[in-house]
Amino acid sequence: MDYLPLFAQLKRRPCLVVGGGEVAWRKTRMLLKVGAAVTLVAPEIDREIEEAQAQGKLTVLREAFRPEHLDGNMLAIAATDNALVNELVSTAADSRNILVNVVDDTPKCSFIVPSLVDRSPIIIAISSGGKAPVLARMLREKIETLVPQHIGKMAAMAGAFRDKLKARIPTLTGRRKFWEAAFSGRFADLVAAGKHQQAEQALEQLSGQITTQGEVALIGAGPGDPGLLTLRALQLMQQADVVLYDYLVAEPIMELCRRDAELVCVGKRASYHSVSQDDINRLLVEHAQAGKRVVRLKGGDPFMFGRGGEELQTLANAGVSFQVVPGITAAAGATAYAGIPLTHRDHAQTALFITGHLKKEQDTLEWATLARAQQTLVIYMGLMKSAHIQSQLLAHGRSPETPVAVIENGTRPEQKVFTGQLNNLPSLAEQAASPALIVVGEVAALAGQLTWFGDNNVATDADPTQAPTAVVNFA
């Protein structure tokens, strides 16, 4: 992010505009609209500026710009058609630590003016950082059609009710629940219909109906691509007071959580546990019993090798309300992004999912079933046990030439796909890093033909059993 979006209070604050033409007047009008004390410097000025000066709306200095004009101002805008003057304004402002905007010259700007959707007091700002202003304008036009005009009135009425609500609902979490219910319920409908008195009554009624009971949402975040989140998952993440998340949840997904939510990493890695399962269960119960809305965010799907069921049992025993939002499991997401169909009429009529996170002495898997031909075997958390998996499959009849794939960071920009045969599975696993998924079966040979995600394609031989190991890097 090149620029920090800010909404500045400029009422009665001194601001300088350099330039006397149409663009300078447009920028001046913007500053006057928010109550800034504007001084405009230019040897020649347009008629609109003269009229505004005569009405006492701004101060005009009919002279050439000098660096001293900046002294005492909070910000400056250079809007002349002389590049040398604009550069002088920029340089002089920077030397005085004054924010400056040079129209249509982003490198000389220390602040930029975004495109605005005005539903005061709701203001939506769109900026491309000066890279694509036409795109920003097009986005503004799109948003203008999506944001109804009554939003501003609704915000103003909400602001007038805030102090009364604070006296009735003392907790921050309770007030958040109130406003979420108000803005999506009868109050919003009444404001849209212009029935403002009835809308105020609806707020009064609703303020006595909000419960302060906490709850937990167990959410599957999917394999990594934020675009694979469900709408319900995004809604609950935006409402959460506390988010307990695993290390497998991708950073772009974490960025979609409510900004002021408490984020608690309870991630686990092979051979390393940052937080025990008992402690995770305790945190879920404690936060919910404190009246908070808790999101338990897990990579993939929470019921697929994720111990989500155990966590819900703890909540049920403690009498805590909960809900579950499924996620796209890695077996479905990562294989799809790698161009590997789980089933195929010619290659696999069955797909089996297992976890490789097991101890050799406790291996109770039905390897004879797992080793059958013409089926797809997907192994979660199998990198460290790849040699054991290989030996068991070979011992129970799977051909050493069976195609395999190891998918690292599936669905993410840094996704890598390592393809080969069962007889070299351990060497493939050594090249990959966690999180990774192992796919064993004839469908793995289709990765080269069906690849679509990222910039690179996979070259495969006509005979997949003779194909050398390939590495596909989608970073």
- Residue 123 phi, psi dihedral angles, 5° rounding: -125, 130
Cα–Cα nearest to 266, from 243, 300, 289: 243
Contact 218, 308 (CB under 8 A): yes
Cα–Cα nearest to 48, from 21, 30, 82, 15: 21
- Residue with structure tokens 């790698």? 338
Q: Say how far apart CA 132 and CA 128 lie, in whole Å.
A: 6
Measured CA distances, 311 to 81, 87, 156, 262 (Å) = 65, 61, 42, 20
Sheet holding 416-421, edge to edge: 351-355, 376-380, 436-440, 403-408, 416-421, 470-473
- b/e map of 403-421 (b: 16 or more CB within 10 Å)? bbbbbbbbbbeebbbbbbb
Known catalytic residues are 246, 268
Burial class from Cβ neighbours inside 10 Å (0-12, 13-18, 19+) for residue 168 reads: middle
Q: How many CA atoms lie within 13 A of 137 on its CB side?
A: 4
